[in-house]
Structures are given as C-alpha cells and as structure tokens.
Amino acid sequence: MAKLIVHQEKITDNQKLIEVCPFGAMEEKEGKVTINAACKMCRLCVKKGPQGAVEYVEDEVREEINKDEWKGIAVYVDHVDGVIHPVTYELLGKARELAAVTGHPVYALFMGKNISERSRELQHYGADKIFVYDEPELDRFKIEPYTAVFEDFINRIKPSSVLVGATTVGRQLAPRVAARMRTGLTADCTVLQMNENTDLSQIRPAFGGNIMAHIKTPHHRPQMATVRYKIMNAPKRMEHKSGEIVNCTIDREKLKANVEVLDIVLKEKEKFIENSDVLVVAGRGVKKQEDLDMLHRLAELLGGQLACTRPMVEAGWMDAKYQIGLSGRTVRPKLIITCGVSGSVQFAAGMNHSENIFAINKDGKAPIFKTAHYCMVGDLYEVIPQLIKKVEEKKGA
C-alpha cells in the first residue's frame, strides 16, 4: 500500500505541522511527529507542510505473473466419508462454463480415505482430470494434512482458478490454502465470470447486500473463490464416463497433524431447509410467536418446512438454522411462500433463485413484490387461514 514517510530533520515546528491534518492523524511522540491510523491519505501534510517534511510513497510496481504457466479450473470435492456434497457438482458445472471461455481443462481434487471407487462418480460430471489423494491420514478432515495436500496439488498442476464450496469444511480450508499460496480469496460469490486472459471476475454482495462487489486477482495465481450451495446450477449426470482419474501420492511427513481426533459423535439426522422443495417463510409481519403454528400447519400440508427471516431469529422465535438470507442460508426450492416478509436485499439474495416465489404482504409497495413471481396484497392473518382451508379441502378430496 502507499504510505507517508515523515522526515523529522526537515520539521522546524512540530505543532504547526500537526495542525495541518484535518483528521487528527498526526501526533507528537518523544519529540517526533508520527502518523496514526486516522490518516485518510489526503496528503495535505505533503502539500501544506514544510518542504520535504512528509513524503508520499507510491506502491511498488508488482512483478507480473506469467499467466501462461497457470491453466485449468480446479474444484475441491467436498465430502463426508466419501459421500460427495452436492455443491461439488454445482461447481463442476460452473467450472465447465468458465473453461469454455479460455479452452482450459477442468480438474477435480478429491482427498480422503478409501475414496478411489467413489471418485468414479465424478466422471459423470464433466471433469477432464480427477486427482485422487487416497491416504489413511485423510480419513477425517484435519486442517494441516488437508492443506498440505491442497498445496501439493496446486504446485503440481498450477490451476489458474480454484473453486471451493462454502461448506463447514470449505470455509476453513480455502482461507488456509489461500494464505499458504499467498493469493486472494473471495468468499460467498454469487456470480463468477471468466475473462479471455484467464482473470476470474468474482462477484458477491457487500455492505449488507447494498452493493455488488466486483473482485479480481490479476497479479496472483491461483484465483480462489468459495460459493454457497444452491447458488449455481448443477449439470445433469451424464450416462457415459469421461475424464481421467489420476492417483496421487504425497510425502507422509506432510500428513502429520498436531490435532488428534479422540472420538466422533454423530448428530441426529435433521432435515435442512436447503434440501426442502417447499418453504413457508415467516417475516416481521407475524405478530406473536404462537402465530407461527399457523404457518407451520401450511408448510406441513404442502409437504414442506417453515423458515424465517432475521427478525424472527433475533426475537428468539426460531433457530438460526431456519433463517434465509446473506447471514443465514441460501435456498432454491420449487415453491417458496413468504408471509409478511418485506423482502430486503439481504433476504432476497438467499432465495431469489427459487422456481416459484409466492409473496403475501399487506404493503403493496413491499420490495418482495419485485422478486416474487406471484404477488398477493393482503393481511397474512386473513390469507393464510383461507389458504390452509383450501389445501385441506383439496387433500380431503
């Protein structure tokens, strides 16, 4: 970054120079003028201070990376005991689209224990090469050996871009690998676009969803991004197999971990809202916690689940795992019914790819109506009971 350098020997009056700064970013310590974190780089001290007392130094010119040495788009295969997470297939589909722009290959990185047979499933999703690290030490996710394998893969193959699912494992692993490779990482991307010069445009909501940040990493490789589940479209499974499986090895010393897993306690299975085909969403228009029973009944009749917006969680009415939005979960059901939901950009970003969006709100100017496919202006306390009655009659028939 650019910086200001103070040349104390050229200052005749410390206090006079300090008063030049309108932000109070200059102060005197032990008889010398220093610049603190309040500095806005306005450079008034350079212009109005004594000649040469403060020097503005530009960034050093970066050494351009040889982009021709980095080719291909790699996808990290997220899994638990060999069961591949669906976000992996979504990322393989996106990688195929991006690779079509540059003509580069698509790679899959699969690491774990006893996964060689499982890796064959990836041949149905368009990867050109599937690199498999099958080692006993990789039986469960441990950050040190997994990072070592990831680093070995990148140094060996030199992919231009790396895509990782924003899962529990992906959110831990991607930053560690990015730091190891001294490159950038953009988290929770909603749009990925490839330029012909292999620069990856990584787009994501920022400042609470009020702007869309357009991020590039032109001076480093690989370019890294994480993407939430249900954001991209998964390709259809091909009947025929394609792509080559490459079995890889790594120095066993690199697989040592300083963390020992003593026991694994399986959680009771639960149904996540991300996997539900039908969702009924409770918004700020719900007046009392007891009224959620009415929405839960509708969801039950439709074979779906009850979800919510952030205010419901903050009020303590529902658990955070049922929250939709940038600070919650991203969903893509076949049908979503929003009840008393205003439709902030933060909420809409988590559900705007749903197949059918049905919105109920008594405010005809609510933002949710700009996102919804079907809009009903009305009080949810009048609409929902009638809707429940209609569905019950239909089911009875």
Residues flagged as binding site for FAD: 284, 309-310, 323-327, 361
What residue type is assigned to position 268 of the chain? E
Contacts of 87 (CB under 8 A, 6+ apart): 78, 165, 166, 167, 170, 227, 228, 229, 230
Distance CA 356, CA 333 (A): 8
The helix or strand, by DSSP H or E, that contains position 133, with its residue range, turns out to be strand 129-134
Cβ atoms of residues 88 and 96 within 8 Å: no
User: Could you tell me which residues are annotated as the binding site?
Assistant: 284, 309-310, 323-327, 361
Distance CA 91, CA 72 (A): 14
Cβ atoms of residues 227 and 90 within 8 Å: yes
Contacts of 184 (CB under 8 A, 6+ apart): 178, 215, 217, 220, 223, 224
Give which of 120, 130, 118 is closest to 92, Cα–Cα.
130
Helix residue ranges per DSSP H, the chain = 14-18, 44-48, 86-102, 143-157, 168-181, 292-301, 310-314, 345-348, 368-371, 380-396
